[in-house]
Structure 1
């Protein structure tokens, strides 16, 4: 069944919720800015990409064919510096961290992008846009040989971020070595420096600035006007603001119809205040380290789903406060949902969006992808499943979980968690002995067995279907 009710989303450009209407009915073009591949991804990146993975999945659930583009920035000052520090080529560096990024996104349950363009493969397209801007008078060759965008030539500059040119001017200063005509102008093409990656252009050898790459790649795959452009909150200004300016000046049409940004992931600093997680602040926790630690804590293979569930419990554009207690709480919540599924089978029917819990779930997702309210429906279902054991409700719980890409493991495997060092056959033998003791009304022995297993980190759950166990 295809969901036909209206979907509303919050657009950064209009600063309000809007009814989503794709350019072509049933087809959605979506571009989300990827990472600069010079280091491992951190949980802040994971927050952004899980958010847009859920958005994409819900658009698909509503019957849309989604073309999802996520770029890879593989030429950049940070990349050049890091490669030099390691004594390797920029390609060796970016190939390594691109693969690591892809593995991290897969671990967190994100679908692979439809297209994953690398900036260095789109130099001709970038030069084409820069040429348009120079020919139209929006860009110029500065005194240092760089090609710069003349911000004041684009009267609507600041419409995405809400920043005015006058406010920006008051806080700007000009570096005489840059050769810009105005301190607000930004670079489109950097003149080549010795030892750096470079390509030929009509302005001489050089490499692209950061902002131009996304305009080139998004337009190549999705057209000069497409549906959704997204990314992390730190990209609104200047990156996305500059994308709007250069794309609309070059092509003479609206760039993206809807702009969506995830909220920041914040961590507590040494002085007790909260700040965003970022590499520049040296306060980040890599996805790899997070997965290793959560796997050790909650069981091998479980950490990724716990982290994903932790991220889903906050609406995508709200800030998340990151601390270990919240991760533990997410594990407890996920455990409760899996316990409702353990030992139970659904009725084999497809998910029906007319069923009350499914309809409430859909209403939440249609209201700007409100995952906390959608997740609340999962807990309501779990309560009813535990009360009634109704196979129709079991099917709904697992089916709605699938929309968010959770609850798809064998519940027994998830609930047992880390089994390293545990003899499952011995645990099963003790459970059987306990059942026999209870049948013989030897409750003292039954309690002894429960306590013995609990001391080993094993919790027993007595259900109508029998006794099951999991790691405490």
Structure 2
């Protein structure tokens, strides 16, 4: 039985879908106001893994993600460049799709775009107005009447009195209550707009996801995911809109991934520490990034540091070297080791515990190394199992030789030519058993800020 942590209930629960074996899941996607960053990748990876694991366990999964392609920031950034907001958003979507493809993130079953659902959004708002959950203002805005929805705050554990604490809200004299949020924003000069019964305008942010969920799955969804920063107000407002509309529980299981820190600080544009995917792909292999991301519970924040990337790179390199050695040495037709897959499933059944699943790898590869040294060809059955099982996490899906070449060539290119030349001379001196010369060259390399690590396979140069 799969257990999943449900933010709504504040605990792990047995996963029982609403409709037999059928699972509908929706994850909030990217607002395409700029390039994708490492936080977007983390969220996309987590829900891709959840979808794949549920399928592995026999569920019939339909997974939807959205692009918010109309938004204040999109309009502002498009205007800065003097381009049409629609064209700006389309270009960003292409760039983001390319980045996600590089990092080998699976496509959802359904891609939803806000601008393709404006007519449905208008119809949804009309129902909320008819039910007295929403009201129009004289200038053409439409707001959701928060006080009328008695369950408001149930996801974030906030009551109406403290719901505004620490939250930025749009102020308007036409609001009945400061908590009321926009369903429809009246048109402003130079902004994209659509005709509606309320006047020309465009959708608010929260209503877009409620409607796209409804278009994909109807009144109810099994799993709804997103970053923890979306719990309030975005997901809280989604619940209010959707349950006011249908009178049914909107989502059975709410799941939220942690946020990103860079060297202990919150990642933010204002701090200038944002890691963009277009930059990350120049320096890191997809498997290294995924290994770094999956070492903790997906609920927890990740603190990205140079050390985390270095350690993850080393582990991935070591693993692939073992895989390559086993595949070159043995040619067995034996089936994969089923125990490895069973242990993986036990980890993932516990709220998709990738951290524990990755921790198991160290023991597996230790045993494989022993078998390799002993000439035991059952090592190949273990390697087959690891490759088949851990491909679900996006690991060991690339040819080992390619991964090794990528990481080692990157490491060499980061080492100055002078250091590489000294290291080569030292290796030559060692081969000739000129130990004094070898020691002198090592000392020179150390003096220049680098360290030589010898191994049975040769040596590695590391910056100190």
TM-score higher than 0.5: yes
Any idea what the Cα deviations from partners look like across 1:14-38, whole Å, max 9, x if unmatched?
Answer: 0100111122333221100011101
Change (3 A) 1:20 1:447: farther
The question of 1:371 aligning with 2:354 is answered: yes
Q: How far does residue 59 in structure 1 lie from its aligned partner after superposition?
A: 1.2
Q: Equivalent residues in 2 for 1:271-286 (5 A)?
A: 274-279=264-269, 282-286=272-276
Cα separation, 2, equivalents of 1:447 and 1:66:
65
The answer to whether the Cα contact below 8 Å between 1:267 and 1:277 also exists between their aligned partners in 2 is yes
Change (3 A) 1:165 1:348: farther
Q: How far does residue 410 in structure 1 lie from its aligned partner after superposition?
A: 2.3
Q: Equivalent residues in 2 for 1:392-411 (5 A)?
A: 392-411=381-400
Cα separation, 1, equivalents of 2:73 and 2:92:
13
Change (3 A) 1:155 1:83: same
The question of 1:256 aligning with 2:248 is answered: no
* Structure 1 counterpart of 2:419: none
* Structure 2 counterpart of 1:327: 309
SS in 2 for 1:230: strand
The question of 1:90 aligning with 2:85 is answered: yes
The answer to whether the Cα contact below 8 Å between 1:173 and 1:183 also exists between their aligned partners in 2 is no
The question of 1:227 aligning with 2:216 is answered: no
Change (3 A) 1:125 1:411: same
RMSD: 3.3
Q: Equivalent residues in 2 for 1:424-443 (5 A)?
A: none
Change (3 A) 1:210 1:280: farther
Change (3 A) 1:68 1:170: closer
The answer to whether the Cα contact below 8 Å between 1:147 and 1:189 also exists between their aligned partners in 2 is yes
Q: Equivalent residues in 2 for 1:113-152 (5 A)?
A: 113-152=108-147
Cα separation, 2, equivalents of 1:461 and 1:26:
52
Q: How far does residue 253 in structure 1 lie from its aligned partner after superposition?
A: 0.7
Change (3 A) 1:177 1:393: closer
Cα separation, 2, equivalents of 1:282 and 1:444:
51
Unaligned runs of 5+ in 1: 1-5, 269-273, 296-301, 423-430
Any idea what the Cα deviations from partners look like across 1:4-58, whole Å, max 9, x if unmatched?
Answer: xx00010110010011112233322110001110111111111211121221221
The question of 1:158 aligning with 2:153 is answered: yes
SS in 1 for 2:268: coil
The answer to whether the Cα contact below 8 Å between 2:337 and 2:382 also exists between their aligned partners in 1 is no
The answer to whether the Cα contact below 8 Å between 1:70 and 1:115 also exists between their aligned partners in 2 is yes
Q: How far does residue 445 in structure 1 lie from its aligned partner after superposition?
A: 8.5
The question of 1:168 aligning with 2:163 is answered: yes
* Structure 2 counterpart of 1:8: 3
SS in 2 for 1:116: strand
The question of 1:19 aligning with 2:1 is answered: no
The answer to whether the Cα contact below 8 Å between 2:153 and 2:163 also exists between their aligned partners in 1 is no
SS in 1 for 2:326: coil
Any idea what the Cα deviations from partners look like across 1:271-324, whole Å, max 9, x if unmatched?
Answer: xxx4432346543111111222x24xxxxxx3x221111001121111111111
Q: Which moved more, 1:171-180 or 1:330-339?
A: 171-180
Q: Which moved more, 1:398-407 or 1:134-143?
A: 398-407
Q: How far does residue 399 in structure 1 lie from its aligned partner after superposition?
A: 1.9
SS in 1 for 2:433: helix
* Structure 1 counterpart of 2:277: 287
Number of matched pairs: 436
Q: TM-score, normalised by structure 2?
A: 0.85
Q: How far does residue 376 in structure 1 lie from its aligned partner after superposition?
A: 1.2
Cα separation, 2, equivalents of 1:349 and 1:12:
44
The answer to whether the Cα contact below 8 Å between 1:151 and 1:184 also exists between their aligned partners in 2 is yes
Change (3 A) 1:471 1:169: closer
The answer to whether the Cα contact below 8 Å between 1:415 and 1:471 also exists between their aligned partners in 2 is no
SS in 2 for 1:55: helix
Cα separation, 1, equivalents of 2:225 and 2:257:
8
Q: Which moved more, 1:74-83 or 1:47-56?
A: 47-56
Any idea what the Cα deviations from partners look like across 1:113-165, whole Å, max 9, x if unmatched?
Answer: 11111100000111111011000000001243210000000000000111111
* Structure 2 counterpart of 1:337: 319
Q: TM-score, normalised by structure 1?
A: 0.84
Cα separation, 1, equivalents of 2:358 and 2:170:
51
Q: How far does residue 325 in structure 1 lie from its aligned partner after superposition?
A: 0.9
* Structure 1 counterpart of 2:343: 360
Cα separation, 2, equivalents of 1:9 and 1:108:
26
SS in 2 for 1:134: helix
* Structure 2 counterpart of 1:381: 364
Q: How far does residue 418 in structure 1 lie from its aligned partner after superposition?
A: 4.8
Change (3 A) 1:164 1:359: same
Q: How far does residue 447 in structure 1 lie from its aligned partner after superposition?
A: 13
Change (3 A) 1:96 1:388: same
Q: How far does residue 236 in structure 1 lie from its aligned partner after superposition?
A: 0.5
Q: How far does residue 343 in structure 1 lie from its aligned partner after superposition?
A: 2.2
The question of 1:70 aligning with 2:65 is answered: yes
Q: How far does residue 363 in structure 1 lie from its aligned partner after superposition?
A: 1.0
SS in 2 for 1:157: coil
